[in-house]
Amino acid sequence: MSQSTIIVFALAAVLLCAAASVLLLGRNAARAGAMDVNESAENELAELPDGVDRDAVEQSALSARVVTREQVDEEAIGISRRKFMNRSIYALLGLGFGLPFLSSLLAFLIPSGKGGFGGIVNVTTPLTDIIAQITSQKKPFYIPEARAYIVQYPNDNAAAIESAEKTPAYTESQKIIDGMVKEGVVALYQKCPHLGCRVPWCETSQWFECPCHGSKYNRVGEKTGGPAPRGMDRFSFDVVDGKLVINTNLSEVVSGPPIGTNTTRQGAEGPVCV
């Protein structure tokens, strides 16, 4: 089911609830008016002196109310109408403020499924150019709209491939392991799995190093130190016409490999930044 369909159903449900509330308020207001009139009549009967035939007086009052109903109930009806209008206004004001908030909340929580973070991101730079830039500059290729780093995986290293294919965190997602083995790249989510800081690249160590609490990850996002509970999370992707199509839907993010995973055996290549 698409996002727009879900939002339409949600707003329709809110409108139905609001309409039902207004109807209930009107019915309760009418009942309140009738109860006020009856209570007034009962109070009048209670104030009659002893010796008066209350039944006769009640019948007479009932007949008078039937005949002159409009004159007798005008004030009570006015009060009930005012109550109904006031409550209706409050309900409409609440609905007017609540609907925009609800729609914006739903739009925020539900992935768009379109371009941009939270949906499908079409990378315009060809994959061959991305790999060439990573190799020449010795740093990841960053895609802001996907909040992702594209890094090379050494798919020419038989030992690394063998180790990756024995790591359940990689093989549970066919697209992840295919990206590593066939395409030789990984799309890493920029967020640190520890507390969500953006993890920058350290050019001297050739690692990712989180400045918040010191978590460190090797070139392919496998944890090498710090308090993070696992390696960096990653996005699945397809290669269409030589270009990356990255799925950044947060409900489909692939969790990073567990502590101790080190398929590339890459140590720090220089001083650490953190």
Residue pLDDT, tens place only, 110-136 = 544 455 889 999 999 999 999 999 999
pLDDT score of 268 more than 80: yes
The pLDDT of 53-77, averaged and rounded, is 54
How high is the pLDDT of residue 86?
73
Mean pLDDT across the stretch 53-62? 58
Locate 185 and state its tokens: 């790249």
* pLDDT score recorded for residue 14: 64
Report CA dihedral (181, 182, 185, 186) to the nearest 10 degrees: -60
Question: Is residue 143 a contact partner of residue 188, using CB atoms and an 8 Å limit?
Answer: no
In this model, does residue 67 exceed pLDDT 50?
no
Whether residue 198 has pLDDT greater than 70:
yes
Phi, psi (degrees; rounded to nearest 5) at 60: -65, -40
Q: Which two tokens stand for residue 41?
A: 């009549």
Please report the pLDDT score of residue 68 as a whole number.
46
Please say if the pLDDT value at position 188 is more than 90: yes
For residue 203, the model assigns a pLDDT of 96
The separation between CA 184 and the C-alpha centre of its own chain, rounded to angstroms, equals: 33
As a whole number of angstroms, the distance between CA 262 and CA 114 comes to 35
The larger pLDDT score, comparing residue 70 to residue 269, is at 269
Structure tokens at 24: 């209930």
Q: What is the mean pLDDT of the chain?
A: 80
Over range 24-29, report the average pLDDT. 57
Question: For residue 113, what pLDDT is reported?
Answer: 45
Which of 17-31, 59-73, 90-104, 136-150 has the largest mean confidence? Answer: 136-150
| Mean pLDDT to the nearest integer, 65-85 | 57
Amino acid at 193: P
SS (H, E, C) the chain: CCHHHHHHHHHHHHHHHHHHHHHHHHHHHHHHHHHHHHHHHHHHHHCCCCCCCHHHHHHHHHHHHHHCHHHHHHHHHHHHHHHHHHHHHHHHHHHHHHHHHHHHHHHHHCCCCCCCCCCEEEEEEEHHHHHHHHHHHCCCEEEHHHCEEEEECCCCCHHHHHHHHCCHHHHCCHHHHHHHHHHCEEEEECECCCCCCECCEECCCCEEECCCCCCEECCCCCEEECCCCECCCEECEEEECCEEEEECCHHHCECCCECCCCCCCCCCCCCCCC
pLDDT of 261 reads: 97
Q: How far apart are the first and last CA of the chain?
A: 45
Determine the pLDDT at residue 181.
96
Q: Give the other-Cβ count within 10 Å of 171's Cβ.
A: 12
Q: Could you tell me what percent of the chain has a pLDDT over 70?
A: 60
% the chain with pLDDT above 90: 57
pLDDT of residue 69: 46
Name the least confident of 65-79, 174-188, 198-212: 65-79
Report CA-CA distances (Å) from 250 to 10, 11, 110, 144, 179: 22, 24, 10, 16, 19
pTM > 0.85:
no
Which amino acid, one-letter code, is at 225? G
Does residue 15 register a pLDDT over 50?
yes
pLDDT band, very low/low/confident/very high, at 82 (cuts 50, 70, 90):
confident
Per the CB < 8 A criterion, the answer to whether 215 and 192 are in contact is yes
The yes-or-no verdict on residue 161 having pLDDT over 80 is yes
226 with 191: CB under 8 angstroms?
no
